[in-house]
Amino acid sequence: MDKKLIHEELSKDIIGAAMDVLNEPTPGRDETLYENALGIELERRGHKVSQQKHFSVHYKGHFMGRLVPDLIVDGLVIADPKVAAAFNDNHTAQLVGYLAKTKLKPALLLNFKYAKLPWKRVVREYK
């Protein structure tokens, strides 16, 4: 059975934009700088980017705080730049929380630590 990935073309474009940002000759940036550069590159490619959009979180009617995904691209995919030795369970859990709150399905972790861009796709299914 051939199963198409959710927002496959957009995901590929986000990864391509991240690779362009990674290949810019200014190593050693922190996550915020990579986030800003990725937002600029995605907008340059014609995408609508929401950066650091706040989502309120409540528990039994009480405000607990906010979830703040780094980038939401075209209102469809969360992109989360990292500068880390490797992805860990906390990174994935954070994205699952963002997906649950935003009701979006796919998210991409993008690691700018090394010359090669490791990435991970996280999908949350809703019924």
Cβ–Cβ under 8 Å, residues 121 and 22: no
CA neighbours closer than 13 Å in the CB half-sphere of residue 39: 16
Q: Which of 25-39, 65-79, 91-105 has the lowest mean pLDDT?
A: 25-39
Q: Confidence band (pLDDT; 50, 70, 90) for 127?
A: low
* Inside any domain, residue 20: no
Helix axes 31-44, 8-22, angle to 10 degrees: 120
- CB atoms under 10 Å from CB of 62, counted, come to 7
Q: For 78-110, how does the pLDDT look when each residue is reduced to its tens digit (9 = 90+)?
A: 999 999 999 999 999 999 999 999 999 999 999
pLDDT, residue 126, reads 66
End-to-end CA distance of the chain: 21
Model pTM? 0.89
- In which domain, by residue range, is 73 found? 28-123
Q: Confidence band (pLDDT; 50, 70, 90) for 1?
A: very low
The number of distinct structural domains making up the chain is 1
* Inside any domain, residue 5: no
* Inside any domain, residue 33: yes
DSSP state of 5: P
